Structure 1
Amino acid sequence: MSASNESAAGKSADGTETEKPKELTPGAEEGLSEAEARTRLAQFGYNEIREEPSGPLRSILGRLWGPIPWMLEAALVLEVVLGKLAGPALIAVWLVFSAVLGGVQERRARTALDLLRSRLQVSSRVRRAGNWQILPAREIVPGDLVHVRMGDIVPADFTIDEGTVEVDQSALTGESGVVPRSRGETIYSASSVGRGEASGTVTATGPRTYYGRTAELVRTARSVGHLDQLLFTVVRYLVNIDAVLAVALVAAVLWRGEDLLPLIPFFLVLVIATVPVTMPAAFTVANAVEARTLTNKGVLVTGLSALQEAATMDVLCIDKTGTLTQNKESLAALVPFAGESEDEVLTWAAASCDEATQGPVELAILGAFKDRSLQPLSRKKFVPFDPAIKHSEAHVNRDGQALRVVLGAPLVVQQLAEPQPELMARVEALAASGARVLAVAAGPEEHLSIRGLVALADSLRDDAAELVKAIQQLGVKVLMVTGDTRATAQAVSRAVGIGGHFGDAEDSLHNPLEYDGFANFYPEEKFHLVQTLQRSGRITGMTGDGVNDAPALKQAEVGIAVHSASDVAKASAQIVLTVPGLQGIVSVVSGGRRVYRRMLTWTITKIARTVELAALLTIGYIATGFFVTPLALIAVIVVLNDIVTITLATDRVQGSSTPRQWDVREIAKIGGVLALGWLVLGFVILWAAMNILKLPTLQIQTLMFVYLMYSAQATIYITRVPGRFWSLAPSRYVAAATIGNVAIASILAAWGILMASVPVVLLAGTLGAVLVASVLLDQVKISVFQQTGLLGSSSPSGVNAST
């Protein structure tokens, strides 16, 4: 789009005409007054569009349609065809219960994510009453004078008054690539600025923009995580076990010459008992609950799978500025070269800065420039700082001579200017204190000479060393990755306890873990570093703040946008820190490991329960000629156990002090051992009921039903901690759900509801046998855990008293 093509109406991204609101031009270049801004806010409303969520009924009905519900519905129909009514009724209740439970939990998870969205605001630079300030994008009104730079998401439709930018409009057009925009042209809300800076007047906000909403940052959809892959693998193994048992059962029935038709509903119910109907809700809630807890610690989790990955993260790449330091630059020293004075060096540097940028470096240099009451140079052109080239520049007029001024990294400026032999020695001397050193060069276009050095001090955060140590004690290797000089990076790295062995970009591609960090790094080199670490089998975390960090943040399993990050970096990351420093990262790792422990409890329990149920029913049928638990009661077992599955998201757990890797074989081993132990006890109870107590078939089925319920609750307590199962009390929700399941099963059995009644003394005896077996199996579990190291060591500080 060229300026000549602009009209009063303007054109949208797809070429359609859009009406330009009238009377929006602010007075002069001062921007709107606060009073006028309030008036227009009342007139046009906030710069946002609220999404209308789908109704609860639609969500519930949607859960009754799909492969898993179809299998349940097929089982229901077959039971009716066979003339049975109790079974179909219970299966129907099960279907509705699962749908309602999933819908309710999804709604709760959405509420938690809405809270995150409300705290993750896009901010914009706005000029009001003659002063540049940072305001939430939702408060922008038509007529505001705004400024955008590289890394920003455009907060509203506006016409450029000054500057040139390259914008990515893929969010609007669906086509990748950048397009240039300059004075007189319009850029649209939700575009992202890839290069350059521009100021302009807002023409449309909120629903009146082309895109129709404020830039959306929260991304909940990601590729399948390691935990999801594990769960699918576990389910596949369980289905294979069911298949083997089903073949054995069919063979036995055919050997006896019996009818196979009554077995069909059993096979369907067995498959459903294996497939975790409430798994999506359980894992979503587990992550959402922890994500909501983390918001109170200055962490916004915008990609829930990142919490799962944080538990296994073993390498963290961190930047220096704003993470280890306070990101409050101040002028520490000026070193003039070639007869220049300090004031002259500062004047040259100030020419390559712009106040509208509101960056810490620019504000420090311009602040010192104003404090000394120096006269600015007449600037004709300004090119803002670009991380890809590590410098900013300006074209100025001094004493009638056109000059080019460059401010940036010393190594970069040295390549653009005439050689200065003592440059790097002076840079090393200044950087030894941890200062950030910039070089400034000026002169005719092709004959730049280095005029001096600017040293900026950014004090270390008081808690930086302590928090680095805390991350290291969690078993995470910390690498510092920075664009600063090696001397600056080493000084800061040693001060916080990371170390001083630094490499360069080439070193990062070969054995990067041999180093403590990397200096003189370009943003795109972070992406290659992450890939190298991942190829070596590492689960990698990466912090970033700029638009060029976006690929690395997306590539990393745990992408973390720091407090000062650009909008594009926040959109690319799965975790956004809302406060400076590393405390949020410590919280994320600890939170991820709590989620891991809760989901590990679910996974082991699922394996043990499924194998126990499938084997007991199949082998029991082969041995006795009847199902030791009716199909209708299996539905009751699954429904009641699903309740506990959801409450595990709130359980109190002990966080591991080392990264935890998901090992399917070891998890299956523990689940299999527990299942075997329960099977032994189950067949002992079955033998006693048939041969000693001489109970009729219906009472035997009742007794085995309560046994399966009791053992399922006991399995949860055994697997939720690495030590004795009584060493850590569960959350009140888990306690209520498990005790409630025992009570419900006992009442149904004692009163003969849905089954034949059995004496209370038999129920008490069965419960006592389960408790004794729990103590024995708990010791077996401890031994297996110690052999596999699956749960690692526990950290008391990792206890989360969720209730």
Structure 2
Amino acid sequence: MLHGLSKSEVQKRQRKYGLNLVEGSHFNLFRKIMSGLWGFSAWVLEFALIVEIILKEYTQVFFILLLLLFAAVNGALQQKRTQQLLAPLKKDLKIHVRVLRDDKWQIISADQLVPGDIISLKQGEILPADVTLISGKIGTDESSITGESAMILHDENSEVLSGVNVIYGAGIARVIRTGNDSRVGKTVNLTKEQKANDGKLQFLLGKIIHYLAIIDTVLVLILFTITIVRHQNIINILPLMALLFIATIPIAMPSSFSIANSVEANVLAKEKVLVNKLESIQNAANIDLLMLDKTGTLTDSTFELTKIHNFSVYEDDDILALAKSATNKISPSNLEKVFQRMKIRRNNLKILNFNPFDINKKYSNSNVIFNGKRLDVKLGSPINLMSSSDWFKYVKKLNNKVVAMTINGKLAAIFEMTDHLRLDTRQTICELQKRAIKPMIITGDNFIAAQRIVQKLKIKGKVVEVSELSTIQNIKEVSAICEVLPEDKLMILKLLKNKGYVVGMVGDGMNDAPALKAADVGIATSNAVDLAKQSAGIIMQKEGIGSITDILDSGHRVYQRMMTWTITKLSRTAQLAILLTLGYWIANFIPINLNAIVLVAILNDLVTMVLGTDNTNISYNPERWNMQKLIKISLIFTIGWVLSGMLLFIGLFKLNIMPPKIGTIMFLFLIFSAMLTILMTRTRKAFEKGKPSKMVLAVIIINCIFVSVLSIFGKVVYPISWKWVLIIFIGTLGLAVIIDAIKVKYYNNIDD
């Protein structure tokens, strides 16, 4: 007879062993900075640095070194900030465990466990400590430790390590090691965190940077050809060639994405939504199809027995007592709780053996002696326990969830169960459809039961069986997939993704975990099992599914901010590269000195980094990455600023203004036009009507004042009068109004 530890013994052991927590690896700022000095972007800057050292241009060496360190240090600091933000959020995502103490089973946080505690284990749970199995049989997925995905079976007296997933069976175990003494604790410093997958937006923006690098390569070849034709020294043009690549480097991209996602992770945390994978936030903006597990997700998991179809020689109460004998007394499922709530006792019923629900067999079973007869009772899925003829005869036409029971291999009873929709389910489904997101219910229920739930939720489309799915041409016509087995969910998700949909998955059960992990955005509900929460990118802590709209809104805000970054980056990079190349071609000198160009890069990136805090207008439709449209809108700014810049440069050159002064004027033009471009790209309306965040506006104003002061006092650039600064600012502002009007007209035309 197990009794568990007493309260006083638990306190004594907690003082000795401490909490069941494993101290994670500390963030090493210096190591992160050093890693930022390695990679393509860093190599380009380092190459330019070497060139300037060879040419003994030590002032320019200083500015390139400043840019290199700025990128590395800023990237490391943003990673640290993100880690500090997510750390307290993830602490809220605690694992809970059923433990026997003072002769009572109770649920506690896993960090309160001590060696000697007796705990219950079942499918879908993660082992919170090293244990020895006392009774029962479990199968575990130990791929997190061994790398092998095959299930490992454990019998009584087997030692099972912490951190593994229970995927089969159930049992009782005694805790033998906790915290830093456990297997996870001993190896945590020897393991490396898996690198988070980039979101879809980073991947696509990375491709844009790749294309920009190709453009720069072409411009470099043009410069090289010009130099050869003019019989000039190639060494003299190397700094300009390096500059073209420096202009392309997305120094602020990692920081911009980190800030944008971190800001929204904090916003979601206030709405009781935990973010496990930052890239899930931005991917939420692209979701156009959302798979929703029915039981426990759309419904409240509280079942009621509505009807018994009794095919046996036993009375209904006897049938219920026998069904109750085949349920898990320690960790019952929601369906098993229906039978356990019934106050039915049979003195002539003795349980000899019990095997908990097997996710592969889809039933639990008990061996009992009832009225002097030995009976083998199985309780579970009708598909697995009934013949196909019986299933079509009795189950196919029922409109409720069904549990079957057999006695000695023969169908004894069918239990009809009903569950209830959560209070926010109808409203959330309605909102999803308004946002042009296709909700698709995934359920193991039969066709009639699935049709009933679809009608209640007013989801457009038809119900299909899982076997029909591959033959469906237009997935948008499907509202629900019925008769789904646990292993079908991942198959369905992969099929939908292969058809080009950006798929979100909402679930709560262990059998939802693979699909939650593979989905573009996996969302676990508040009642989800530990394995489902671990697999999901986002976890809702509020009951129900209403938080889905908060997740979608956050995704759209991140997406819009990054679109501002993208359009600005495209147009600014093209503008700078073309002006430098054409300027050198026409005037035979570099229009802007290297120090100023490095400063342009730094100041522009300072603004783009704070775009993560900018005000946005949320789009209520799935975002689509339209490269053609993106290039067109970028061309509006690029052509406008390049033509203006070239006219300004040629005019200054024709007026015989000396090159250093031209360089300062062009420097101011580049900064002013870049700041105004950010204001224009962040909204489809006229830029003066779109209110930026205080942080974005403040950095823009500070940048403009800063470069004006540098230009007037001759720091970094050649000094010019304040009148020139004012003329360039007013002229650039006037050009911005014209370019912005063209932008607004373009958006109005494509929206019509």
Same fold (TM over 0.5): yes
Native 8 Å contact 1:143 1:203 kept in 2: yes
Q: Does the Cα contact within 8 Å between 2:268 and 2:551 map onto a contact in 1?
A: yes
Q: 2:575 aligns with which of 600, 604, 612?
A: 612
Aligned counterpart for 1:73 among listed residues 38, 46, 51:
46
CA 386–470 in structure 1, closer or farther in 2 if over 3 Å, else same: farther
The alignment status of 1:196 with 2:196, answered yes or no, reads no
| Residue equivalent to 1:410 | 382
Between the aligned partners of 1:414 and 1:535, the Cα distance in structure 2 is: 34
In the alignment, which residue of structure 1 is the partner of 2:436?
A: 475
**Structure 1 residue 372: Cα displacement:** 4.5
Partners of 1:100 and 1:184 lie apart in 2 by 52
- Structural mapping, 1:687-766, within 5 Å: 687-692=650-655, 694-766=656-728
SS in 1 for 2:718: coil
After TM superposition, the structure 1 stretch with the greater mean CA deviation from structure 2, 512-521 or 664-673, is: 664-673
Could you tell me how far apart the structure 1 residues matched to 2:688 and 2:449 are? 52
Deviation at 1:500, TM superposition (A): 7.0
**Matched residue of 1:758: which SS?**
coil
Q: 1:629 to 1:382 in 2, by over 3 A?
A: same
Q: Which residue of 1 aligns with 2:395?
A: 424
Deviation at 1:387, TM superposition (A): 4.1
Matching of residues 197-212 of structure 1 within 5 Å: 197-212=170-185
Deviation of 1:376 (Å): 8.3
Q: 1:309 to 1:259 in 2, by over 3 A?
A: same
Structure-1 residue corresponding to 2:457: 496
Asked if the contact 2:220/2:244 (under 8 Å) is kept, the reply is no
> CA 1:374–1:738 in 2, change beyond 3 Å: closer, same or farther?
farther
Letter of the structure 1 residue corresponding to residue 505 of structure 2:
M
SS at match of 2:445: coil
Cα pair 1:409 1:484 within 8 Å, conserved = no
In the alignment, what sits opposite 1:596?
A: 559
Q: In 1, Cα distance between the equivalents of 2:186 and 2:306?
A: 43
8 Å contact 1:494–1:500 — kept in the other structure? no
Of the candidates 114, 122, 129, which is equivalent to residue 95 of structure 2? 122
Structure 1 residues 265, 537: CA separation in 2 closer, same or farther (over 3 Å shift)?
same
Aligned equivalent of 1:535: 498
Any idea what the Cα deviations from partners look like across 1:415-442, whole Å, max 9, x if unmatched?
Answer: 29x94896337x61xx3xxx53322222
- The secondary structure found in structure 1 opposite 2:235 is coil
Residue of structure 1 in register with 2:253 after alignment: 279
Match of 2:369 among 393, 397, 406: 397
Would you identify which runs of 4 or more consecutive aligned residues in structure 1 move more than 6 Å? Answer: 213-216
Q: Is the 8 A contact 1:490 1:500 kept in 2?
A: no
C-alpha contact (below 8 Å) 2:290/2:505 kept by paired residues: yes
**Counterpart position of 2:146:** 173
Q: 1:219 to 1:575 in 2, by over 3 A?
A: farther
Partner of 2:299: 325
**CA–CA distance in structure 2, aligned partners of residues 529 and 788 of structure 1:** 35
Aligned partners of 1:137 and 1:214 also within 8 Å: no
State how far apart, in whole Å, the 2-side matches of 1:333 and 1:779 are: 68
Question: Is the alpha carbon distance of 1:69 and 1:128 closer, same or farther for their aligned partners in structure 2, counting shifts above 3 Å?
Answer: same
Look up the equivalent residue of 2:238 and give its one-letter code. Answer: I
Query: 1:96 matched to which residue of 2?
Result: 69
Paired with 1:376 and 1:326, the residues of 2 have a C-alpha distance of: 35
**Structure 1: distance between partners of 2:220 and 2:161:** 61
Instruction: Look up the match of 2:13.
Output: 40
Instruction: State the AA in 1 paired with 2:272.
Output: G
Instruction: Say whether residues 1:184 and 2:157 are aligned partners.
Output: yes
Deviation for aligned residue 1:787? 5.2
Give the match for residue 3 of structure 1.
Answer: none
Give the superposition deviation at 1:144. Answer: 1.1
SS of equivalent residue, structure 2 residue 94? coil
The letter for the 1-side match of 2:394 is L
Quote the offset at 1:131 in angstroms: 2.7
Q: Is the 8 A contact 2:587 2:653 kept in 1?
A: no
Q: Tell me by how many angstroms 1:392 deviates.
A: 2.0
Matched, 1:292 2:266: yes
* Kept after mapping to 2: 8 A contact 1:163/1:197: yes
Give the drift of 1:648: 1.0
Per-residue CA deviations over 1:307-351 (Å, capped at 9, x if unaligned) read: 232211111110112222222334444454445433223212211
> 1:155 touches 1:214 (CA, 8 Å); kept in 2?
no
Distance 2:193 2:500 in 1: 26
Partner of 1:622: 585
Q: Deviations over 1:530-567 (max 9, x none)?
A: 12211211111122333333332232212222222222
What's the CA shift for 1:52? 3.3
- Report sequence identity in percent: 32
2:607 aligns with 644
How far is the alpha carbon of 1:374 from its aligned partner?
Answer: 5.5
Does residue 487 of structure 1 match 2:458? no
CA distance in 2, matches of 1:376, 1:391: 24
- Helix, strand or coil: the match of 1:311? helix
Per-residue Cα deviation, 1:80-118 (whole angstroms, up to 9, x for no partner): 332322211111222222222112111101112212321
Q: Kindly report which structure 2 residues correspond to 1:347-358, keeping only aligned pairs within 5 A, or say none.
A: 347-358=321-332
Q: Is the 8 A contact 2:27 2:80 kept in 1?
A: no
Q: Is the 8 Å Cα contact of residues 343 and 374 (structure 1) preserved in structure 2?
A: no
Secondary structure at 1:538's aligned position in 2? coil
SS of residue in 2 equivalent to 1:356: coil
Q: Does 1:132 align with 2:105?
A: yes
Partner of 1:800: none
Alignment of 1:290-369 (within 5 A): 290-338=264-312, 340-368=314-342
Q: Unpaired segments of 5 or more residues in structure 2?
A: none
- Alpha-carbon deviations, 1:680-699, whole Å to 9, x = none? 1112222333345x532211
Structure 1 residue 635 displacement after superposition: 0.3
Return the alpha-carbon distance in structure 1 between the equivalents of residues 118 and 535 of structure 2: 27
The match for 1:10 is none
Question: SS in structure 2 opposite 1:64?
Answer: coil
Q: Once the two structures are superposed, what CA deviation does each residue of 1:764-796 show, in whole Å capped at 9, x if it has no partner?
A: 22111222222222222233335556xxx9xxx
Shift of 1:611: 0.2
- CA contact 1:545–1:564 (8 Å) conserved in 2: yes
Provide the residue aligned with 1:29 in structure 2: 2
CA contact (8 A) 2:526 2:542 kept: yes
Instruction: Give 3-state SS (helix, strand or coil) of 2:290's partner.
Output: strand
Alpha carbons of structure 1 residues 329 and 135: separation in structure 2 relative to 1, 3 Å: farther
> Aligned in 2, Cα 1:420/1:174: closer, same or farther, shift over 3 Å?
closer
Task: Pick which of 125-134 and 155-164 moved more.
Answer: 125-134
Would you say 1:454 and 2:393 are equivalent positions?
no
Alignment of 1:464 with 2:429, yes or no, is: no
DSSP 3-state at the match of 1:726: helix
Contact 1:189 1:213 in 2 (8 A): no
Query: C-alpha separation between the residues in 2 aligned to 1:36 and 1:328?
Result: 37
Letter in 2 for 1:760: W
Q: Distance in 2 between matches of 1:224 and 1:61?
A: 21
Report the equivalent of 1:16: none
Letter in 1 for 2:240: F
Distance 2:167 2:691 in 1: 52
Cα distance in 2 for partners of 1:278, 1:475 equals: 33
SS in 2 for 1:516: strand
User: What is the TM-score with the length of structure 1 in the denominator?
Assistant: 0.89
Q: 1:677 to 1:327 in 2, by over 3 A?
A: same
Instruction: Judge conservation of contact 1:410–1:437 (CA < 8 Å) in 2.
Output: yes
Compared with structure 1, are the counterparts of its residues 612 and 221 closer, same or farther at alpha carbon in structure 2 (3 Å cutoff)?
Answer: same
Q: Following the alignment from structure 1 to structure 2, what is the Cα–Cα distance between the partners of residues 627 and 324?
A: 64
Deviations 1:228-258 (A, max 9, x none): 3212210121112112222222222222222
Give the C-alpha shift of residue 154 in structure 1.
Answer: 1.1
Number of the residue aligned with 1:24: none
For 1:63, which of 26, 33, 36 is the aligned residue?
Answer: 36
3-state DSSP of counterpart to 2:234: coil
Moved more, 41-50 or 222-231: 222-231
Mapped partners of 2:461, 2:668: distance in 1: 63
